[in-house]
Amino acid sequence: MEVNSVAYNTVAGNTQGTKKSTTVSKDDFLKILVTQLKYQNPLEPQKPEEFLTQLSQLTQVEQLQNMASALETMKKSMEQSNISQWISTVGKKMNVASSNLSRGDVVYIKPEADFDEVILTKTNLVTGSKEAVTFKKGDPLVYKHEGDDAVAISVTAIKSNKAIGCKTDVYRVIAGVNIEQGIPLLVAGNGDTYTTDKIKEIQ
């Protein structure tokens, strides 16, 4: 029995009005069925097979509602599990495309060709001051930022007084996790945030 809108009156004659809905709950369906049986024409009573068909439809409505409820519960459970997993990453390091560093962040430097030295220039994001860190050939090409202020970095390799390009892998400490509309955002030490699709690796 397909029901899109139902209009009914009470026995006393008080009009309840028209109830319009795009969905019918099992309770609504049962009320409609009971009302239909209560006020059916005694000279033309409802046939048993019609009644059974309506009961079958009631069962289908209930099953669909139970299924929808189970799916919603599963969805919430998965979201909470996913969020818990990201919260457990606090204190670890995330590999992201960034030139900003805060305390504890690490940069791995990879010159694109042979070099004599590598110069990493730090610009303090609070004071604007600059500082250069020089790596000679044979030195470990790894820099860990220990300062309290966040910095922006640029890296250049030098060979025979000519600049050579460098690639960098930046690993930032995960200082916290924000949840916005169910989506986790990982927070670096200076407040920079990264969506999970921007994170290449966590270690």
Cβ contacts of 193 within 8 Å, gap of 6 or more = 178, 185, 186, 187
Q: What is the pLDDT of residues 148-187, one digit of tens each?
A: 999 999 999 999 999 999 999 999 999 998 888 778 889 9
Question: Confidence band (pLDDT; 50, 70, 90) for 5?
Answer: very low
According to CATH, where is 2.60.40 located in the chain?
A: 93-202
Confidence of residue 24 (pLDDT cuts 50, 70, 90): low
Indicate if the pLDDT at residue 194 is higher than 50: yes
pTM for this prediction: 0.60
Largest interatomic CA distance in the chain: 108
Q: Which fold has domain 93-202?
A: Immunoglobulin-like (2.60.40)
The Cα 98–Cα 169 span in angstroms is 9
